Amino acid sequence: MGRKKGFNKEKISLIITVLSRHPEGIWIRALADECKLAPNTVRHYIQGALNPLIIDTSLGRSEKPHLRVVRLKPYVLQRLSEGKNIAQILRMLKAIEEIDQ
Protein backbone atom coordinates (compact mmCIF):
# COMPACT_ATOMS: atom_id res chain seq x y z
CA MET A 1 0.00 0.00 0.00
CA GLY A 2 2.65 2.56 1.00
CA ARG A 3 2.49 6.14 2.08
CA LYS A 4 -0.24 8.49 0.82
CA LYS A 5 0.82 11.40 -1.37
CA GLY A 6 0.90 14.89 0.04
CA PHE A 7 1.43 16.31 3.48
CA ASN A 8 0.40 14.58 6.70
CA LYS A 9 -2.15 16.69 8.63
CA GLU A 10 -0.94 15.32 11.96
CA LYS A 11 2.63 16.45 11.27
CA ILE A 12 1.39 19.88 10.19
CA SER A 13 -0.61 20.20 13.39
CA LEU A 14 2.35 19.04 15.49
CA ILE A 15 4.74 21.55 13.90
CA ILE A 16 2.27 24.42 14.33
CA THR A 17 1.64 23.45 17.95
CA VAL A 18 5.35 23.59 18.73
CA LEU A 19 5.77 26.87 16.83
CA SER A 20 2.88 28.41 18.75
CA ARG A 21 4.77 27.67 22.00
CA HIS A 22 7.74 29.65 20.62
CA PRO A 23 6.32 32.93 19.24
CA GLU A 24 9.82 34.46 19.19
CA GLY A 25 11.02 31.73 16.82
CA ILE A 26 12.94 28.48 17.00
CA TRP A 27 15.77 26.84 15.07
CA ILE A 28 14.78 24.19 12.56
CA ARG A 29 16.80 21.50 14.33
CA ALA A 30 15.31 22.38 17.74
CA LEU A 31 11.84 22.35 16.18
CA ALA A 32 12.52 18.92 14.72
CA ASP A 33 13.76 17.64 18.09
CA GLU A 34 10.64 18.87 19.90
CA CYS A 35 8.38 17.36 17.22
CA LYS A 36 10.39 14.13 17.20
CA LEU A 37 10.69 14.39 13.41
CA ALA A 38 13.70 14.42 11.11
CA PRO A 39 15.06 17.91 10.34
CA ASN A 40 14.64 17.28 6.60
CA THR A 41 10.98 16.44 7.16
CA VAL A 42 10.46 19.70 9.06
CA ARG A 43 12.25 21.66 6.32
CA HIS A 44 10.06 20.00 3.69
CA TYR A 45 6.87 20.97 5.53
CA ILE A 46 8.09 24.53 6.17
CA GLN A 47 8.97 25.07 2.52
CA GLY A 48 5.74 23.44 1.36
CA ALA A 49 2.43 23.31 3.20
CA LEU A 50 3.39 25.70 6.02
CA ASN A 51 5.09 28.34 3.87
CA PRO A 52 2.13 30.81 3.97
CA LEU A 53 2.04 30.62 7.79
CA ILE A 54 5.76 30.97 8.51
CA ILE A 55 8.31 33.76 8.75
CA ASP A 56 11.68 32.22 7.87
CA THR A 57 14.80 34.14 8.87
CA SER A 58 18.08 32.82 7.49
CA LEU A 59 21.52 33.92 8.64
CA GLY A 60 24.51 33.35 6.41
CA ARG A 61 24.80 32.60 2.71
CA SER A 62 21.55 32.34 0.81
CA GLU A 63 22.30 28.96 -0.81
CA LYS A 64 23.25 27.29 2.48
CA PRO A 65 22.46 29.41 5.54
CA HIS A 66 24.30 28.90 8.82
CA LEU A 67 21.15 29.26 10.86
CA ARG A 68 17.43 29.25 10.07
CA VAL A 69 14.94 30.52 12.62
CA VAL A 70 11.25 30.05 11.88
CA ARG A 71 8.19 31.47 13.60
CA LEU A 72 4.50 31.79 12.95
CA LYS A 73 3.21 35.01 11.41
CA PRO A 74 1.50 37.32 13.93
CA TYR A 75 -1.82 36.85 12.11
CA VAL A 76 -1.63 33.08 12.63
CA LEU A 77 -0.76 33.42 16.33
CA GLN A 78 -3.69 35.80 16.79
CA ARG A 79 -6.12 33.44 15.05
CA LEU A 80 -4.88 30.45 17.07
CA SER A 81 -5.41 32.39 20.31
CA GLU A 82 -8.98 33.12 19.15
CA GLY A 83 -9.62 29.40 18.87
CA LYS A 84 -9.47 29.01 15.08
CA ASN A 85 -8.14 25.74 13.70
CA ILE A 86 -5.41 25.31 11.11
CA ALA A 87 -7.79 24.53 8.23
CA GLN A 88 -9.69 27.78 8.78
CA ILE A 89 -6.46 29.79 8.87
CA LEU A 90 -5.16 28.15 5.67
CA ARG A 91 -8.44 28.87 3.85
CA MET A 92 -8.30 32.53 4.89
CA LEU A 93 -4.67 32.90 3.75
CA LYS A 94 -5.42 31.26 0.38
CA ALA A 95 -8.32 33.69 -0.13
CA ILE A 96 -6.08 36.65 0.70
CA GLU A 97 -3.39 35.43 -1.73
CA GLU A 98 -6.00 35.06 -4.51
CA ILE A 99 -7.21 38.62 -3.93
CA ASP A 100 -3.63 39.96 -4.11
CA GLN A 101 -3.05 38.36 -7.52
Length of the chain: 101
pLDDT digits (tens, 9 = 90+) for 29-53: 999 999 999 999 999 999 988 888 8
Residue 9 clears pLDDT 90, i.e. is over it: no
**From CA 39, how far away is CA 100, in angstroms rounded?**
32
CA 36 to each of CA 33, 41, 42, 60, 84: distance values in angstroms, whole numbers, following the listed order: 5, 10, 10, 26, 25
Residue 18 clears pLDDT 80, i.e. is over it: yes
CATH (residue range 9-100): 1.10.10.10
Q: Is the pTM of this model over 0.85?
A: no
Proportion of the chain above pLDDT 90, given as a percent: 40
pLDDT digits (tens, 9 = 90+) for 69-93: 999 999 889 988 888 887 787 777 7
**From CA 27, how far away is CA 61, in angstroms rounded?**
16
Q: Where are the domains of the chain?
A: 9-100
Q: What are phi and psi of 23, to 5 degrees?
A: -65, -20
